[in-house]
Chain A
Amino acid sequence: MRQAELTSECPGVTPLLMQNGHRDTMGMRWMAPVLVASIVALGGCISVNAPEGPIVIELNINIRQEVIYRLAEDAGNTIEENADIF
């Protein structure tokens, strides 16, 4: 499937090589794009996934004091209003 995709992306490559009749070098030639494509694909995956973890952790740690101060009175009222579960 990948081979088909790659050759369809580069229409000039296959016919040119077929004309010259270098069948063995043709095999080598399309391995380079596959290698590059797989490295790019792998590189893409890592760069997308890497930031996700740290951001989530930072959000949990970064509950700031000013937010807690803002909510304190409201939370106190909530506890009084729901005395059966506090």
Chain B
Amino acid sequence: MNSNSPLSRFALGLAAASLALGGLASAAYAQRDPAYEQARSSGRVGEKMDGYLGIVGAATPELQRLVNDINIKRRAVYAEKAQAANATLEEYALTAGCVAIARTSPGEKYQAPDGSWQTRTSAPPLRDSRCPA
């Protein structure tokens, strides 16, 4: 195929543009702290139904600090967004919990409607009946 054809040059330009956009998007949204990522993937912390992070099993002081730190930040975000959406903090947090549980990766922990900790598999998670599909 001739690499100088207008079509292939257009395709090349599109690929470059999408790469640049992807790079910008990932740069704009900060990634998880390595300690948090490790605690998630190892199942020491899990997503609760109420939209906050919980400790699964034994709590250590540094794990408690990590979870508290994230939950305080989450609460601040929920409060701001709930006000903008004309909803209560609890409503917004519960909705975020639905979404956060739905987005867990296999191996991560989440809280089922009965309150028990479950390990996410490739199957859909067990969620509150009010959660959107």
User: Closest approach, in angstroms, between the C-beta of B131 and any C-beta of chain A?
Assistant: 7
Given contacts A67-B87, A68-B94, A85-B73, contact A78 B100 (CB under 8 A): no
Bound-complex Cα distance A70 to B88 (A): 13
- Chain A residues positioned under 8 Å from B70 (CB to CB): 85
Cβ of A25 under 8 Å from chain B:
no
User: What residue of chain A has the Cβ atom nearest to residue B92's Cβ?
Assistant: A71
A-facing residues in B91-133 (Cβ within 8 Å): 91-92, 94-96, 98-100, 103, 129-132
Q: Classify chain B's interface size.
A: 20 to 34
Contact of A75 among B29, B73, B90, B95 (CB under 8 A): B95
Cβ of A76 under 8 Å from chain B:
yes
Cβ of A9 under 8 Å from chain B:
no
User: Closest approach, in angstroms, between the C-beta of A44 and any C-beta of chain B?
Assistant: 31
Bound-complex Cα distance A65 to B98 (A): 11
A-facing residues in B31-79 (Cβ within 8 Å): 31-33, 70, 73-74, 77-78
Is there contact, CB below 8 Å, between B103 and A68?
A: no
B-facing residues in A53-82 (Cβ within 8 Å): 60, 63-65, 67-72, 74-76, 78-82
Contact of A85 among B74, B85, B98, B129 (CB under 8 A): B74
Is there contact, CB below 8 Å, between B90 and A71?
A: no
- Chain A residues positioned under 8 Å from B73 (CB to CB): 82, 85
Contact code string B21-32 (vs A, CB < 8 Å = 1, else 0): 000000001111
Residues of A within 8 A of B (CB-CB), count: 22
Cβ of A10 under 8 Å from chain B:
no
Is there contact, CB below 8 Å, between B99 and A76?
A: yes
Bound-complex Cα distance A70 to B82 (A): 12
- Chain A residues positioned under 8 Å from B103 (CB to CB): 79, 86
Given contacts A79-B100, A82-B77, A86-B74, contact A71 B30 (CB under 8 A): no
Q: Which residues of A contact B (CB under 8 A)?
A: 60, 63-65, 67-72, 74-76, 78-86
Q: Which residues of B contact A (CB under 8 A)?
A: 29-33, 70, 73-74, 77-78, 81, 85, 87-88, 90-92, 94-96, 98-100, 103, 129-132
